[in-house]
Amino acid sequence: MTNETLEILLAAGIPLAIVVAVTTLLVRRRRGPDTDEAPTALDEPVVVPAPEVEQTVEAPAPPVEVLPEEAEAPSVLEVPAPVAGRLARLRDRLSKSGSPLGARLLAVLSKDHLTEDDWDELEETLLLADVGAGPTGELIDALRTRVRVEGLKDPAQVRALLREQLIALVDPTLDRSLHTAPGAAADGSRLPAVVLVVGVNGTGKTTTVGKLARVLVADGRTVVLGAADTFRAAAADQLQTWGSRVGVHTVRSDRDGADPAAVAFDAVRTGRAEGIDVVLVDTAGRLQNKAGLMDELGKITRVITREAPLSEVLLVLDATTGQNGLNQARVFSEVAGVTGIVLTKLDGTAKGGIVVAVQRELGVPVKLVGLGEGPDDLAPFDPEAFVDALLEG
Ligand SMILES: Nc1nc2c(ncn2[C@@H]2O[C@H](COP(=O)(O)OP(=O)(O)OP(=O)(O)O)[C@@H](O)[C@H]2O)c(=O)[nH]1
């Protein structure tokens, strides 16, 4: 048989074989249940073996109440990136966000002779970068004195001076540690650390809670999430997805618009019953009016503290919103007893000066910064690494 003949036979034969097979199967099926033939593969239910669950991170103990989400756990848990050194990413991100503050300051300060216009330009640059009027005045005064007294000319010396002054402005003496160590109740039972996350809507609260859960998991802690943002329907789903990626359980209500205080209470009670280290509670960010906000956050705080004291109240602030964001933050800090600030979207602004302004305005340290939308784009705030990122960006 030649190759050509073989190809013709194959071309005609394969469709013919398919037609014969399909016809046979159809005829067999039509015969119905009275046939005494053994069932064909088409009659049998398809049994697909369950994929093996590969766990790279220890899953938390099962919750007190088994919620439907347990069935949705992903087959492979993610391993969060190490936390150390994350702030260094800011340098790359800042260099992409136009002309960063540090570069602009250095460009003026590196001139041979600084005129009054140059000092005005420096001042304007700091104000435009949201440093705020008070801190800007302080920095300019300190720089002028040092440049005059020490007669600094060498660019490396000027740069070192600017670095030193910026670090002083950001204030390295503030306590930026996140209080997440479990405590003990009067009866000796273990209490989880409770972190309440508040802020205006859209600032990145839910994302921050998700990223923070990963930071804690990377640190070997057990975590429970409380979806007390019952105002936005998708918020609980969003939070649950974050948690399930690292094996963290989310306590939520199955009803939209449920009482956020009740969900927060359930989350803390679950955390306590299960001996969890940290309970992170996400809240809605409605800023209808101060009285309404005070009522809602006051109630959440009251019911939580029936189970365990609050370890941290983190205010999430969008770094790109400038003065407007600061005004809103002031209202939250007045009603919620804020202990730390999370400054998100620092990757999306060349105005790093907001760090200084927000600390001065609210009298509370920036403890964490958001550096992007990636799951591990949250870093502990470190004044020196931050200033280095500004100057080297
Ligand atoms: N570039 C950037 N985007 C961020 C950062 N943090 C959060 N986002 C984005 O900001 C948007 C809003 O984030 P959410 O976490 O839903 O904000 P929220 O405050 O919980 O919003 P509400 O539930 O409406 O109150 C999302 O698209 C996030 O991906 C960050 O550090 N950098």
Q: How many domains does the chain have?
A: 1
For ligand 1, say whether the CB of 375 is within 6 Å of any of its atoms: no
- Ligand 1 lined by 325 (C-beta under 6 Å): no
Residue 11 forms part of a structural domain: yes
Is 367 annotated among the ligand-binding residues? no
Tell me how far the alpha carbon of residue 204 lies from the centroid of ligand 1, in angstroms: 3
**In degrees rounded to 5, what are phi and psi of residue 53?**
-90, 115
- Which helix H or strand E contains 263, and what residues bound it? helix 260-273
Note whether 55 and 77 are within 8 A (CB).
Answer: yes
259 occurs within a structural domain: no
ipTM reported for the complex, 2 dp: 0.97
Q: What b/e readout covers 281-295, taking b as 16+ CB neighbours within 10 angstroms?
A: bbbbbeeeeeeebee
Q: By alpha-carbon position, which residue is closest to atom 14 of ligand 1?
A: 204
Both structure tokens of 126: 């700091």
Residue 63, in any domain of the structure: no
Which among 3, 80, 383 has a CA at the least distance from the CA of 391? 383
Between the CA atoms of 97, 99, 104 and 106, what dihedral angle is there, to the nearest 10 degrees?
A: 70
The answer to whether 345 is annotated as binding is: yes
In tens, the pLDDT along 33-89 reads 333 333 333 233 333 333 333 333 333 333 333 344 444 556 688 888 888 888 877
Pick from 238, 282, 233: nearest CA to 257: 233
Q: Is 175 helix (H, G, I), strand (E, B) or coil?
A: coil
Residue 269 in tokens: 């009670």
How far is CA 277 from each of CA 153, 177, 273, 366, rounded to the nearest angstrom?
Answer: 53, 16, 11, 23
Per-residue pLDDT tens digits for 213-249: 999 999 999 999 999 999 887 999 999 999 999 999 9
Residue 287 lies in a domain: no
Task: Give me the domain span that covers residue 36.
Answer: 3-43
Strands 223-228 and 249-251 come out as parallel
301 CA to centre of ligand 1 in angstroms: 23
32 within some domain: yes
275 CB neighbour count, 10 Å cutoff: 14
The reply to whether 80 falls in a domain is no
Which protein residue has the closest C-alpha to ligand 1 atom 17?
204
Which residue, by CA, sits nearest to atom 6 of ligand 1? 204
Rounded average pLDDT per 10-residue block, the chain, 393 residues: 45 43 37 33 31 35 39 70 81 68 82 86 89 92 86 79 91 95 92 96 94 95 96 90 96 89 97 97 82 86 95 94 83 88 88 86 94 93 89 71
93 inside domain = no
Q: What are residue 223's DSSP bridge partners?
A: 278
N residues, the chain = 393
Please tell me the residue having the least CA distance from ligand 1 atom 7. 204
Asked whether residue 8 is assigned to any structural domain, the reply reads yes
Q: Is the CB of 260 under 6 A from ligand 1?
A: no
